[in-house]
Amino acid sequence: MVSTSISKTLGPIHFEDLEPHRFEDLIRELAYDFRDWTNIEATGRLGADDGFDIRAFERNEHHHIHTASGDVDEEQPHPMEGRMWMFQCKREKAIGPKKLSEIVSSDVSGSDPPYGYILAAPANFSKKAYDKFREELRARGVMEFYLWGRAELEDMLHQPKNDRILFAFFGISLVARKRSRATELRSFISVKNKLQKLLGTNPAHKSVLLRDSKDQNYPYQDRYEDFEKRPRWVERAAVQMHPLGVVFEEGKYFAYIDRDAKTWDYTAAINLAKVRNNQDSDDHNLSQKVEAFYDSIQKCQQVKMVDLRWLKFESVVAIDSEGDVEYEMPQIYVDFDPEKGPFAGGQQLLEVNQHAVEYLDDYERVAIFPEEFTDPVFGIIHKEEQLNLPSEISEQICKYSAYHHALYDCDGHMDFLSVNDVVEIAGSSDRNSEPCLLKITHKRSELARKLLRKKNENLTIITQIERHIGRPLAARDTIQVYEYKRVYQWQLPERSDG
């Protein structure tokens, strides 16, 4: 089953959206936690800032300076001042080594350097730029210096302690996102557990009513002129639980496959997945016509096309486990999409049997089914001539016909049979004492030597043929294969032997 993986990430922060003074405000907010300051001054907001945008004083380790006699020394620097740091803010996307050198040369004097210097810019600095920055500031006697580029600024803003700053300047809150994600997960787990308890881990075609959470006219379909095209509630069969949702069977149709030619086809005339028994006589007649054509296809080429759809747990709004008098089944409320309805996606595949499927990726669709279907055709209804089969074979066909679909003849005993003929198995009846009638749906010839060349691979079919013909299969034999379908007296037209 194909699934889609979605990764949610935070994109680059748009520093360019900030005005220059707001960018200075952002750097000042980030600076508050950088050191233990006695004071931070926004020197750049009113101009005449001597080239600096922010000036800050780092608190000294000793707050009181005393002389040996215990008196305060008035000549010592006042503890309020501390170590001076200068911040320069450049809201530029690109700053190369040369431009960086010019900024430092303009800002920092070698005769009276600050203790610390920080240049902040939303740019991606190269190694040469970092090296030039370090070289220029060391030469000017600056003790500590930092270059806050785009990566450093984003790292700081992503820290939980700075989430309020990220939200204030950019409207993004990672903490809120984390809380929101936790809420989503709790809802997801709750819905999953409820549906798994309601449907089981293997739903096995359990009927569910899917309802549009926006609808207010249930159960009155006639209040919507477009209900047939765009239903506000649909009954579907749940067929599988998936880690991300529930798989529903939207449709099942008669189909054809040729594995050698890698071709396939299907007809949408009859949807076998309809769960409500509301067929009228026209639908029943059409169903008989379609099934008759399907029966004429060789058994090994008969398959069902299954249209599967996915309902995501996260799209479920509410769950009603009891249903109501109109639909006595679980009801799931979903916000329907105008085009897709309650589903998020789907997949079509060919169901060979209960245990095998074929995916359509490597197959080409060809025209096999007609646009219009004709009435079922009957050939000769053989009332006098019957099939004389070994008793074991007769009993298996009549009582377990679902597991048998072909007769085999190598000696001409069944030459009188043609496609669409009906014949009775001599001396047999089913569990209801009805005569065992077979309608021939397909006839073909196969060479025994082809089967015998690969006897080990074809041992099962060879054994079955030999039971039908009552002798060992010889390489010279030509096998007549008669595929059939059980029919009943009430299905036959009023005709006799031709």
DSSP 256-268: EEETTTTEEEE--
Q: Does pLDDT of 6 surpass 50?
A: no
| Higher per-residue pLDDT: 191 or 62 | 191
**Range 403-416 average pLDDT:** 89
Whether 474 shows a pLDDT value over 90: the answer reads: yes
Q: Grade residue 50 by pLDDT with cuts at 50, 70 and 90.
A: low
Phi, psi torsion values for 339, nearest 5 degrees: -100, -45
pLDDT digits (tens, 9 = 90+) for 147-195: 999 999 999 998 888 888 998 999 888 877 676 778 888 889 999 999 9
- Contact between 93 and 16 under an 8 Å Cβ cutoff? The reply is yes
pLDDT at 10 over 80: no
Query: How high is the pLDDT of residue 1?
Result: 44
pLDDT band at 372 (very low <50, low <70, confident <90, very high): very high
Cα separation values, 106 from 47, 61, 88, 168, Å: 16, 31, 11, 32
> pTM higher than 0.85, yes or no?
no
Checking if the pLDDT of 325 tops 50, the result is: yes
Contact yes or no for 108/143 (Cβ under 8 A): no
Q: What is the pLDDT of residues 287-322, one digit of tens each?
A: 999 999 999 999 999 999 999 999 999 999 999 999
Residue 402, SS3 per DSSP? helix
pLDDT of residue 330: 95
Query: Which phi and psi (to 5°) does residue 229 adopt?
Result: -80, -35
Q: Which of 242-246, 275-279, 286-290, 371-375 has the lowest mean pLDDT?
A: 275-279
Q: What domains are defined for the chain?
A: 15-60+80-172 (3.40.1350.10), 198-365 (no CATH), 381-491 (2.30.130.30)
Q: Cβ(393)–Cβ(470) under 8 Å?
A: no
Higher-pLDDT residue of 370 and 345 is 370
pLDDT-derived band at 5 (thresholds 50, 70, 90) equals very low
Task: Provide the pLDDT for residue 68.
Answer: 47
> Alpha-carbon distance 348 to 168, whole Å?
49
Return the C-alpha torsion angle 201, 204, 206, 212, nearest 10.
70
pLDDT in tens, 211-266: 999 999 999 999 999 999 999 999 999 999 999 999 999 999 999 999 999 999 99
Higher pLDDT, 240 or 74: 240
Mean pLDDT of 414-429: 90
pLDDT level of residue 416 (50, 70, 90 thresholds) = very high
- For residue 359, count other CB atoms closer than 10 A to its CB: 11
Q: What average pLDDT does range 314-331 have in this prediction?
A: 94
Q: Which amino acid belongs to residue 11?
A: G
Question: Is the Cα dihedral 442, 445, 450, 452 positive or negative?
Answer: positive
pLDDT at 61: 64
Nearest to 27 by CA among 70, 116, 88: 88
Residue 63 has pLDDT above 70, yes or no: no
Share of the chain above pLDDT 70, in %: 88
Confidence of residue 403 (pLDDT cuts 50, 70, 90): low
Q: Mean pLDDT in the chain? A: 87
